[in-house]
Structure 1
Amino acid sequence: MHRTTLLSVVVSVGLLAASAACAQDKKAPAMTPEMQAQMEAYQKAGTPGIEHGKLAAMAGNYDLTVKSWYAPGAPPSTDPGTATRRMILGNRVLVEEVTSSMMGQPFTGQGLHGFDNVTGKYWATWNDSMSTGVMLSEGTCDAQLACTYTGTHHDPVTKKPQTSRMTSRWTDKTTEVFEMYGPGPDGKEVKMMEITYKKRP
């Protein structure tokens, strides 16, 4: 567990324990204003809001059309796929599981999507069967869930961090288009992937 997350858990548990002790033992001292403020901050940070409700509306089963560009100027490779999205952790996080193919090989992936009440930004992670690493992304979305993310992962060839730009938009109530851009051979940004999600009834 990340140190910051562990610290948050420890502080939260401590504050809740103090509150419970105060409630059960009338002789126990009341929480200090500082402790009360800390507890309220943690409760606010952990309470699902409007943004989490928007993520929940994306839950369901999807058919995918996956386009991948392996070389600048070359036509894309197109593969079918499926995705399942569902909410976890008390409607705080959307988990996405994808099955498709890539470069002629079976491909599976899993992503997490959330909204951080503390930073006010959306975040995402991505793992798949063609890597042992993880991509971490952060971004913003408008009221219609048109989003722009910046993600970072370690490039297998250079071993260095590589940054990608990702966008997503809903063209209608059941269709989402995801696009991913990254550095080409000359370092300039090129389109690498486009996924069209079609939600099943």
Structure 2
Amino acid sequence: MKFLKSIVIAAALVSCLVSESNAQNTPIPKPGPEFDVLKADVGVWDVTIKTWAGPGQPTISKGKETNRMLGGFWLLADFQGSMMGADFQGHGMYSYDAAKNRYVGTWVDSMSASKMEIVGTYNADKKTMTYEGMAPGMDGKPAKHVLKTVYSDDGTHVFKMHVHTEAGAVKVFEMSYARAEGN
């Protein structure tokens, strides 16, 4: 076991040396204009959440989201609040994939053991980011989710999520974002 560990460490060191040598010859990529929409979300946000568990009036709760950029390429989002009467935490990672010509992301949260992978587009004229992904629906079966964020000129934005069922699209929640004071 000790011998195997030594081989793995040696291989990792050689890989690092080769990578470092190659890195000296390869310029580090720089994020293009597609990342500007992600950078606009950096900061701390106060969030008002409207949740629909069925027909009728929504349940309203509060939350806070803290976002930062990782290397200019990834928006990391950390959410804390309450949803449907329970404490709720979530973590998202979003970027632009030039090979796919699409925005990509991953979301995990405290209400599910499943990860949602999403792919989307940004419409600059409508200031709207639209993602689609598959995740468990309200019945636990895989369902298409559509996540749409509309940005306003005043710096706020509204995020809505719909889950597609056999009966059609069902609005699950709407989250209104405003910059936290001092941010």
Aligned-partner residue type, residue 50 of structure 2: K
Aligned-pair CA distance for 1:19: 8.0
2:84 aligned to 87, 95, 103, which one? 103
Distance 1:173 1:189 in 2: 29
Distance 1:165 1:156 in 2: 14
Structure 1 unaligned runs (5+)? 1-12, 24-38
Give the corresponding residue for 1:190. 170
Aligned-pair CA distance for 1:59: 0.4
Call closer, same or farther: CA 1:169–1:16 in 2, change over 3 Å. same
Distance 2:174 2:147 in 1: 10
Distance 1:103 1:192 in 2: 11
1:79 aligned to 51, 61, 76, which one? 61
Show CA shifts across 1:114-149 (max 9, x none).
111111111121111111110111110022541111
Q: How many residues align?
A: 165
Question: Does 2:46 correspond to 1:60?
Answer: no
More helix by share: 1
Q: Please report the RMSD computed on the Cα atoms of aligned residues, expressed in angstroms.
A: 2.6
Q: TM-score, normalised by structure 1?
A: 0.72
Q: Percent identity?
A: 30
Call closer, same or farther: CA 1:14–1:68 in 2, change over 3 Å. same
Structure 2 unaligned runs (5+)? 1-16
Correspondence list, 1:3-152, <5 A: 17=21, 46-71=29-54, 73-88=55-70, 90-143=71-124, 145-152=127-134
Distance 1:175 1:151 in 2: 24
Q: Secondary structure at the match of 1:130?
A: coil
Distance 2:110 2:19 in 1: 41
Aligned-partner residue type, residue 189 of structure 1: A
List structure 1 runs of 4+ shifted beyond 2 angstroms.
13-20, 154-158
More strand by share: 2
Aligned-pair CA distance for 1:92: 0.4
Distance 2:173 2:40 in 1: 24
Aligned-partner residue type, residue 62 of structure 1: W
Call closer, same or farther: CA 1:156–1:187 in 2, change over 3 Å. closer
